[in-house]
Amino acid sequence: MIVADRKVALVTGAGSGIGRAAAIQLSAAGFALGLLGRTESELQDVAAEMGDAPAKILVADVSDEEAMRVAIESLAGEFGRIDVVVANAGVNGVWAPIDELKPSEWDDTIRINLRGTYLTIHASVPHLKAAGGGSIIIVSSINGTRTFTSPGATAYSVTKAGQVAMTQQLALELGRHRIRVNAVCPGAIKTSIDENTDIRAREKTEVPVRFPEGDIPVTGGVAGTSEDVADLIEFLASDASRHITGTPVWIDGGQGLLR
């Protein structure tokens, strides 16, 4: 189904949280969507929420090279192009003292967050070039880029810092192809990712920090929402951000300035 009148966006980790909100918002803005994730039932729910808007479900693990290649080729084949890539899929992984963090736990976080981001972009860029340009939006974090106080989050922080470095490196490399690359760096956001975080021996790594009342100044301590981040992603996907590239944007209500 070629959609000549619509741009096409790929969103990874589209089944929940920020990915879900971004996919729904981009669909409402007129994009055809590639919904990529590991749980088909979640992706089906997102597609159903979009109503009759064009969407293709892509079941794949972002760290699996062949699965990602097949999924992205399938999306381009279905809709005829890819214009926007939202590399959102990621995990918090295990947070533990560095001498207790197992190499396998380190590898799992690096594999999904960094290798997954790389494979998403690696397989998508030929299609963005063929479309004459586009926008890549990498979902990073305030961890590893603005704050370093999450106890034991070394592997996670390294991946988030690496994503910003990837953003800036690729902004220069891909600029000649009219492909913009930016990063969004959320602070505390109400999603389910914290339910999948394994924190061990917190007391061995935590550094107490005293905050003013409420550690998110703009909201008095209330976490942001996935829709807040989706608003920023929609802006970076649109032509309204046509002169912005290589830029990390912190969306944390000022939280990272206190830590």
Active site residues: 156
The distance of Cα 237 from the centroid of its chain, to the nearest Å, equals 13
Helix locations, the chain, DSSP H: 17-28, 40-49, 65-79, 103-110, 116-130, 154-175, 202-205, 226-237
Structure token pair of residue 178: 């009219």
What is the DSSP secondary structure assignment for residue 189, as one 8-state letter?
A: B
Q: Map residue 166 onto helix, strand or coil.
A: helix
- The answer to whether the CB of 104 falls within 8 A of the CB of 153 is no
Q: What sign for the dihedral angle of Cα 40, 140, 121, 176?
A: positive
Q: How far is CA 102 from CA 81, 115, 179, 202, in A?
A: 41, 19, 38, 15
